Amino acid sequence: MAPERRGWWQSPWTALGALALGAVCGFALNPSGPIAGTVPGFVSGTLATADLVASIFLRLLKMLVAPLVLFSLVAGVASIADPRRLGRLGARTFAYYMVTSLLAVLTGLVLVNLIGPGRGARLQMAEHPGTLPGGAIGLREMIVGLVPDNIFGALARLDMLPIITFSLLLGFALTRLDPERRNVLTRLFDAGFHLFTRLALMVLSLLPIAVFALILRVAARAELRVFGDLALYVLTVALALVIHAVITLPIVARLAAGVRPVRWAGAIAPALLTAFSTSSSSATLPVTLETAEERGGVGNRTASFVLPLGATINMDGTALYECVATIFLAQYYASSAGYELTLTRQLIVVVTALLASIGAAGIPSAGLVMMTIILTALDLPLEGALLLLAVDRPLDMMRTTVNVWSDSIGAALMHRLEEGAPPVPRVSDA
Ligand code: ASP
């Protein structure tokens, strides 16, 4: 793709500045902030404008997700025509996703056991009636749901897993065509992929404004009061996420993928900032693809295969969060109601947290909904998940950033394994 001239507006530093400014303005407008009661018209007007800007940006991103996944995966699979190479890349990608997610879960497991935020916690469970968005999820539906019964329906609903299954199958069928038809279609899908990436680039120019609006509305509506009772829990999740993001994953980036972690983070910073502001790996996917390729130097073939898969099934941050959150609740029930948090049950958490993170959609609060699988497996009431809803947003922002960070390192690693050399970031603001 033709190189773009990038001014200060396109720099991640600008978006980071917008993020900080959005947070300051948002907290100032918060009901417990300084401006709150004084100029109500101003507060509601500002919030309405921020909502408008944020909604438009989110819709622009979401508009790109289904076509990008379809075109990028079909083009990716078709370009690796050799089934053995494809199988190898698929297996390696999957192995990376599983290993890093497992490391994340184990980090969470160790910290939640060491800190024990649930032991003796004061949680007024019965005061949180209501239903979770999306309801409880069963494992069986999750497996059957991998296969679309109607691809147009799946595309319309943005059901990522069935879209991925369909795209992989379509790409594979394409490689089985006679050479003439195969060439035409491969070029068509490749050109389509570039077209949507170009469109993503245009949407991306709105990033600073969008980040400002997204963060402002979150900060303005944050229920700061609720954090008191859950502070230790929030801190445990945050600390575990930070350890995974700044120690474990950078070691993988350095040793396995051969990229310098800080430089790599600088290259894909726009994707990290988008993940943080939107709490959605799927909505961030257009930005992740664009930045990994254009700024990070990951090969087109690798990025278009690895990243759509990653945005859907690789969620280190979510896996870690599931583990800490459910053990937190189990600790609470252990100290208040004689529940036994045995070693077997901790093992169940590790396995189901991994599965739940694979099954979680890349949308806000998906991790919280998937927690119902683990709570059911542990014989714990689902009510606990509702309680955690109150503090989910900031944790969601953090875990989504970790999810995308891990995807990008996976792309760098697969690039190295495929091309024999690490990707060379072309632009890095670090
Ligand atoms: N919001 C997360 C993501 O999109 C999923 C989750 O809720 O953990 O990656």
Alpha-carbon gap, residue 153 to 181, rounded angstroms: 27
Residue 37: per-residue pLDDT: 67
For residue 15, report the distance from its CA to the centre of ligand 1, in Å. Answer: 21
Q: Exposed, middle or buried: residue 272 (CB in 10 Å: 0-12, 13-18, 19+)?
A: buried
> Which residue from 335, 327, 403 is spatially nearest to 371, judged by alpha carbons?
327
Ligand 1 closest atom vs CA 366: 7
For residue 407, report the distance from its CA to the centre of ligand 1, in Å. Answer: 13
Mutate to test the pocket of ligand 1, among 276, 281, 323, 405 (most ligand atoms within 8 A of CB): 281
Q: Is residue 185 part of a domain?
A: no
Tally of domains in the chain: 1
Q: Is residue 195 part of a domain?
A: no
Residue 128: per-residue pLDDT: 42
pTM of the model: 0.86
Q: Provide the CATH number for the domain around residue 121.
A: 1.10.3860.10
Residue 388: per-residue pLDDT: 85
Ligand 1 closest atom vs CA 311: 9
For residue 3, report the distance from its CA to the centre of ligand 1, in Å. Answer: 32
What is the per-residue burial (b if ≥16 Cβ within 10 Å, else e) of 346-356? bebbbebbbbb
Q: Is residue 11 part of a domain?
A: no
Residue 80: per-residue pLDDT: 78
The rounded Cα 35 to chain-centroid distance in angstroms is 33
Q: Exposed, middle or buried: residue 335 (CB in 10 Å: 0-12, 13-18, 19+)?
A: middle
Q: Which DSSP state fits 4?
A: P
Q: Is residue 57 part of a domain?
A: no
Q: Is residue 130 part of a domain?
A: yes
Q: Whose CA is nearest to atom 6 of ligand 1?
A: 367
For residue 348, report the distance from its CA to the centre of ligand 1, in Å. Answer: 21
Mutate to test the pocket of ligand 1, among 62, 100, 365, 371 (most ligand atoms within 8 A of CB): 365
For residue 369, report the distance from its CA to the centre of ligand 1, in Å. Answer: 10
Residue 133: per-residue pLDDT: 52
Mutate to test the pocket of ligand 1, among 309, 316, 400 (most ligand atoms within 8 A of CB): 400
Q: Whose CA is nearest to atom 8 of ligand 1?
A: 367
Q: Is residue 202 part of a domain?
A: no
* CB neighbours of residue 203 within 10 Å: 18
Q: Whose CA is nearest to atom 1 of ligand 1?
A: 364
For residue 184, report the distance from its CA to the centre of ligand 1, in Å. Answer: 37
Mutate to test the pocket of ligand 1, among 161, 279, 372 (most ligand atoms within 8 A of CB): 279
The residues, any chain, with a CB within 8 Å of residue 365's CB and separated by 6 or more, are 133, 279, 389, 392, 393, 396
For residue 404, report the distance from its CA to the centre of ligand 1, in Å. Answer: 10
Question: How confident is the prediction along the chain (430 residues), in pLDDT tens digits per residue?
Answer: 444 555 777 777 788 888 889 989 988 888 877 776 677 778 888 889 999 998 999 899 888 888 988 998 898 888 877 778 888 999 999 999 999 999 999 999 999 999 999 887 777 654 444 455 555 556 677 778 889 999 999 999 888 788 989 998 999 899 889 999 999 999 999 999 889 888 888 888 888 899 899 889 888 887 766 666 788 999 999 999 999 999 999 999 999 999 999 999 999 999 999 999 999 999 999 999 999 999 999 998 899 899 999 998 899 999 999 999 999 999 998 888 888 888 999 999 999 999 889 888 888 888 888 888 888 888 888 888 878 887 888 899 999 999 999 999 999 999 999 999 999 988 766 5
Residue 36: per-residue pLDDT: 67
Residue 356: per-residue pLDDT: 87
Q: Which DSSP state fits 359?
A: H
Residue 153: per-residue pLDDT: 94
Alpha-carbon gap, residue 326 to 323, rounded angstroms: 6
Contact residues of ligand 1, CB 6 A cut-off: 279-281, 315, 318, 360, 362-367, 396, 399-400, 403
Q: How crowded is the C-beta side of 423, counted as CA atoms within 13 Å?
A: 33
For residue 146, report the distance from its CA to the centre of ligand 1, in Å. Answer: 18
For residue 311, report the distance from its CA to the centre of ligand 1, in Å. Answer: 9
> Which residue from 416, 90, 428, 91 is spatially nearest to 256, judged by alpha carbons?
416
Q: Is residue 252 part of a domain?
A: yes
Residue 130: per-residue pLDDT: 47
Ligand 1 closest atom vs CA 283: 4
Q: What's the domain range around 396? A: 87-177+224-419
> Which residue from 306, 308, 84 is spatially nearest to 175, judged by alpha carbons?
84
For residue 39, report the distance from its CA to the centre of ligand 1, in Å. Answer: 35
CA 124, 129, 130, 132 torsion: positive or negative? positive
Q: Is residue 293 part of a domain?
A: yes
For residue 183, report the distance from its CA to the centre of ligand 1, in Å. Answer: 37
The residues, any chain, with a CB within 8 Å of residue 306's CB and separated by 6 or more, are 89, 93, 407, 410, 411, 414
CA distance to 6, 10, 71, 380, per residue, from 3 (Å): 9, 13, 22, 54
